[in-house]
Amino acid sequence: MFNLFRSLLQNKPRIPYVLLALFLVLALGVFFAMQRGSKQPAAASSAPGFKPLVTAQRAQQRDVNIYLPALGTVTPLNTVTVLSRVDGQLMEVRFREGDMVQQGDVLAMIDPRPFQAQLDQAEGQMQRDKALLENAKLDLRRYAQLVPGDLIAKQQYDTQAALVRQYEGIVKSGQGAIEAAKLQLTYSRITAPISGRTGLRLVDPGNIVHASDRSGLVVLTQMQPISVIFPLPEDNIAKVLDKMKDGISLKTEIYNREQTQLLASGELTSLDNQIDPTTGTLRLKAELPNDDMRLFPNQFVNVRLLIDLVPNAVVVPAAGVRRGPQGAQCYVLRDDDTVELRRVDAGESIRDEIIIRSGVQAGERVVIEGTERLRNGIQVEARDADSPRAPRQQQK
């Protein structure tokens, strides 16, 4: 080292190059030291005796329902704006907001006195016209007895017969006026046209209402049964049509937004007649009894349409299936706690599970957690997914 230093002093022009060389050597040393430190965890993970901790769950075999999911909107079968059919003062409202009413129930009363007066007037006019008609008929019968003896002119008899027919027309017209007055009187009692739930009251008692008013008194909505309209992609329409052609009733389940609570169940009733070109979907309608009144019009819900049943299907958690360029794969845990990477034929997904057509048998354990450090054939420390979660051992 001393000789090297002495040679550096004797060769002063070369000192910058030597310093540069020493700097490069020092930099390379620091770089390799950092690389070695970064590889220590990997070396620890591959150290002899290290067993990655994984969670496994057994593949199950059972009958599986295949659903088509969709987002739907609750739509009433009938919605009616209750209007007044006559003009008058609103005297009484006989419903409370939000009440369930039956068809024919009286909802409101309009002042009936003007319509009762019209009816009385029409009935009085009818009595007068009937009396005139009866008198004309008596005269006609008298003239009929006098005509054969030439006691009166034939023209007088014909005139009397025409008068009888005229009075008959007046009586018939008066009967129509009576029926119209009765109808107006009936319309003063506003009844529910359908069974359903009343909305908020739109007119208060004491106001003058008209038959020409468009806002109405209240909106009445049918709640039982109720329907849900939802779209399906056009690629799934053929499956639905095939089932409907075979006369199979497709069950429809309605869930809340989080898909955690079943709100109602019903059946698919109809399909729209054309596909929406902007979305490539077809609208379907399902009808539900809504016995517990948990569905409200315009409510957004999750729809699951039962389209098929796969008997004795092998299902595994979706977390245990990996998809890549080589297809679907999963790690299967052997009896000796070593893992085997297998290619599987994955079918339909049912919420958080996947149907496995081949590659995994029922009862085999599939790794669902801790697959990031696994490779084919290594031994692991496994625990059952259904067992209480044990604290993870600190890796050394």
Per-residue pLDDT averaged across 97-106, rounded?
94
User: Does the pLDDT value for residue 303 go beyond 80?
Assistant: yes
Read off the pLDDT of residues 227-258 as tens digits, 9 standing for 90 and up: 999 999 999 999 899 988 888 889 999 999 88
How much is the pLDDT for 29?
64
How much is the pLDDT for 38?
45
How much is the pLDDT for 2?
44
How much is the pLDDT for 20?
54
How much is the pLDDT for 371?
82
Provide the b/e sequence for 205-214 (b: ≥16 CB within 10 Å).
eeeebeeeee
- pLDDT band at residue 202, thresholds of 50, 70 and 90? very high
Instruction: Please name which of 235, 239, 338, 328 lies closest in space to residue 279, comparing C-alpha atoms.
Output: 235
Q: CA 227, 229, 230 angle in degrees (round to 5)?
A: 145
Read off the pLDDT of residues 140-193 as tens digits, 9 standing for 90 and up: 999 898 888 888 888 998 999 999 999 999 999 999 999 999 999 999 999 999
How much is the pLDDT for 186?
95
Those residues with Cβ within 8 angstroms of residue 348's Cβ, 6 or more apart along the chain or in another chain:
66, 310, 354, 355
Tell me the C-alpha distance between 16 and 101, whole Å.
102
Q: Cite the beta strand spans of 177-225 per DSSP E.
A: 189-191, 196-198, 208-209, 218-221
Beta carbons within 10 angstroms of residue 2's beta carbon: 6
Q: What is the pTM for the complete model shown?
A: 0.68
Tell me the C-alpha distance between 224 and 124, whole Å.
47
